[in-house]
Amino acid sequence: MDSDVFSVLAHIDYPVRFWPERLAGPFDPSAFEDEFRHALRATALTGKALEVNTQIPLHPAVVTWWREEGGDAVTFGSDAHLPSAVAQGFRDAAAMAEAHGFRPGANPTDLWTRTD
């Protein structure tokens, strides 16, 4: 997976948007933990970052697994399709990233990196 085509793994939870909750019940990421961890480990080994979406919050378990699999950095994306939606939910997403040991860099555009 060593590639210069991308630097951030975004939308790792994209399929959750189409989860058939009425038929299958609430989405439980632990049911797919092995699959998530495989993708997270492969991404971490290449030094890439994980995107934390601020519009549709990433499940905290995924960020936990990211750290456990060696992920060193996160970034944020709001999926804003309208100017008014830019950074919507950022405060909650940032708090969740901080709770998992990631901190902002010196510049607002820096990746958030692990503190340990």
- Kindly report, residue by residue over 84-106, the tens digit of the pLDDT: 888 889 999 999 999 999 999 99
Q: How far apart are CA 48 and CA 5, in angstroms?
A: 11
Strands 102-103 and 112-114 come out as antiparallel
The answer to whether 44 and 80 have CB atoms below 8 angstroms apart is no
Write phi, then psi, for 68 (nearest 5 degrees).
-65, -30
CATH T-level fold of 8-114: TIM Barrel (3.20.20)
Q: What are the distances in angstroms from CA 47 to CA 3, 4, 84?
A: 10, 11, 32
pLDDT at 5 over 70: yes
The domain spans of the chain are 8-114
Instruction: For residues 60 and 84, give the distance between their C-alpha atoms in angstroms, rounded to a whole number.
Output: 25
The better pLDDT of the pair 86, 64 is held by: 64
